[in-house]
Structure 1
Amino acid sequence: MAKEKDEFKTKFSKELGPLIALIALLIFTAVLNPRFLTLFNLQSLGRQIAIFGILAVGETFVIISGGGAIDLSAGSVVALSGVTVAWLMKHQVPVWLSILLILLFSAGIGMWHGFAVTKMRVPAFIVTLGTLTIARGMAAVITKGWPIVGLPKSFLTIGQGDWLGVPIAVWIFGICVLILHFVLRKTVYGKHLRAIGGNEVAARFSGVNVDRVRFVAFTTCSVLSGLVGIIVASRLSQGQPGVGSSYELYAIASSVIGGTSLAGGEGTVIGAMIGASIISLLWNALVMLNVSTYWHNVVIGIVIVVAVTLDVLRKRLAKQ
């Protein structure tokens, strides 16, 4: 009982810092620019949080699995999925079937990553970097560099519509958070995922199927990337081959800011959600405060470096 209580305090304290930072940033931006609190801006912010948040949750699963695992292909899978779902609908494939096929296609990409990492022993960095290039290239090949437009109105509701004043994309994000938080915290799979990230050798001796756990983590990440591709295509009303650039970096940053350790074994879905909110809010704040776009990536980069540095220092102090 005492052990579980200490574990709860540790998790809460790791998420409390980013949550306080999020609230402070929100108040700071609202004070400097009252337009920040307009319904239109809040809905736009919510849609952006949903996009980065879904990707961050996927990256969290992969990073927690340890072994230096990371998925660099998320942004390119977003582009390829968005282009492909648009291409299918332009060729008279029903909306629901197009979405289902893209999710299955994305799952196939994740399965390839999982197979390459677990069975072929290819470093995750290499195989996902290869997919990053391939997927980005295929998106351009399919469209010949031009966006695919004229998508059905029913499809556009996913990225542009709202229910009870809340964007549909945010509802989708909320469902993903609830399901995957339950999987990570309350299921045997979640316990095994954290176990192999914390100590792979001990997990193997305990009978955990390490390869299968990592395989599922990579598959989950790619499926969520495909889902984001669908949302982005719907939001933009087109299959755009150029979207998703650097999305994987924002997703990784969101995960780390939310308390996920790059060494593996630690991380939560709620933390990833908070991290994605910070990244999205920071981006939105820079726009609202009329900061030059040239500075946006500089600021985001500094936040990433600070978050990773703090994580390293925290682990170093914990060992002392």
Structure 2
Amino acid sequence: MTMTAQANLPMKPPLLRRVLQAFVDIRELTLIVLIAAIIIVMSNINPYFLSFSNFRAVAVGMAPTAIIVIGMAILLASGGFDLSVGSVMALSSTVVAMLLLSGMAIPLAVACGLILGGIVGVVNGVLVTGLGINPLIATLGTMSIARGIALVLTEGFSVSSLPASFAWIGKADIGGFPVIVLFTILLVILFDLAVRHTPFFRQVYFIGANEKAAMLSGIHVTRVRIILYALTGVLAALAGVLLASRLMSGTPTAGNGIELQVLAAAVIGGASLRGGEGTILGAFLGVVFVALINNTMTMLAVSIYWQMIVIGGVLVTAVALDMLIRSKRG
């Protein structure tokens, strides 16, 4: 090869720059490194951090958030989002508890709770896609309505004294591992594979990247988005059922503020508020990252109020970095 031809070849960036670029582009890899760093640092500060009982408590506590983030990540990829997930979680929790107290069979009560979550999701989808209401306004409204219904039904009190057999869903172990955690991991794996390999969920990314192009290519955007909102509602309701089983009570104030944690985790995991990006695995790792930060601050005796500030700061930072990366790519 002549010197002139060699001079015209594009120069490869330095190895360090390529490695750093890989960390930026592959969000899952970045989160795995950050999670490992937190574990290493905290294990030196507090030996209890590495204990099985601590990891068990963290895993059980983050399970409802991890289930909800599945739907939120898919919604964000389509260009939407849902602020009502925490309220749907609380409403489903209280309704299922009240049905159980009335003598309804556990499978039927759980099915009613999931259907209720799906109905709220469909309402969100119709408001956003059918009536063209901004997702922020639409889901903010249903968030208030769902929470209000939960409070009206219970008069603000938790619904307790549930059948003992209902506790199995949220408290049982298999081989020393909580069923609720194993079930959550199974859901994450199934939905991650579905999003990566099934035609229906691949449409989500086309819609989020360019809605008009998706419509011209034959994708029924309205129908897909309504299904996604319904799915998000069902997953939020499922999280509420599992929480009610673990606490053995339906709590109308459950999930208050969880929508912030879910959004933060999904964005940290690689989802974009503009749509077209994100994975279920990345969103799940984002939940793990946020849960470990909360656990770290608790062990360091940081006030719960400061924890809210930190999570808000993490969300703003993640969105800012996402916008910066996008502008650099552009």
- What TM-score, normalized by structure 1, do the two folds share? 0.93
Contact preservation (8 Å) 2:66, 2:284: yes
Unaligned stretches of 5+ residues in structure 1: 1-8
> 1:226: Cα distance to partner?
0.2
> 1:37: Cα distance to partner?
2.2
Which AA in structure 1 matches 2:114? L
Counting only pairs closer than 5 Å after superposition, residues 121-270 of structure 1 correspond to structure 2 as 121-270=132-281
- Structure 1 stretch 272-281 or stretch 40-49: which is displaced more? 40-49
RMSD: 1.4
**Identity between Structure 1 and Structure 2 (%):** 38
Contact preservation (8 Å) 2:68, 2:235: yes
Which AA in structure 1 matches 2:76? I
> 1:156: Cα distance to partner?
1.3
Q: Deviations over 1:15-65 (max 9, x none)?
A: 211221111112222221111222222111111221211111111111111
Name the structure 2 match of 1:5: none
Which AA in structure 1 matches 2:187? C
Contact preservation (8 Å) 1:114, 1:216: yes
What is the count of residue pairs matched by the alignment?
309
Which AA in structure 2 matches 1:141? V
Residues of 1 paired with 2:64 and 2:25: CA distance?
25
> 1:12: Cα distance to partner?
6.7
Residue 62 (1) aligns with residue 75 (2): yes
Name the structure 2 match of 1:17: 30
Residue 48 (1) aligns with residue 61 (2): yes
Q: Deviations over 1:152-181 (max 9, x none)?
A: 122112222221121111112112112211
Name the structure 1 match of 2:6: none
- What TM-score, normalized by structure 2, do the two folds share? 0.91
Unaligned stretches of 5+ residues in structure 2: 1-21
Q: Deviations over 1:38-94 (max 9, x none)?
A: 22221111112212111111111111111xx21000111111111111000000001
Q: Deviations over 1:104-129 (max 9, x none)?
A: 11111111111221211122111111
Describe the SS at the equivalent of 1:27: helix
Residues of 1 paired with 2:173 and 2:321: CA distance?
38
Contact preservation (8 Å) 2:114, 2:238: yes
Contact preservation (8 Å) 1:204, 1:210: yes
Residue 26 (1) aligns with residue 39 (2): yes
Larger radius of gyration: 2
> 1:11: Cα distance to partner?
9.4
Name the structure 2 match of 1:96: 107
Residues of 2 paired with 1:10 and 1:31: CA distance?
25
Which AA in structure 2 matches 1:42? F
Which AA in structure 1 matches 2:295? N
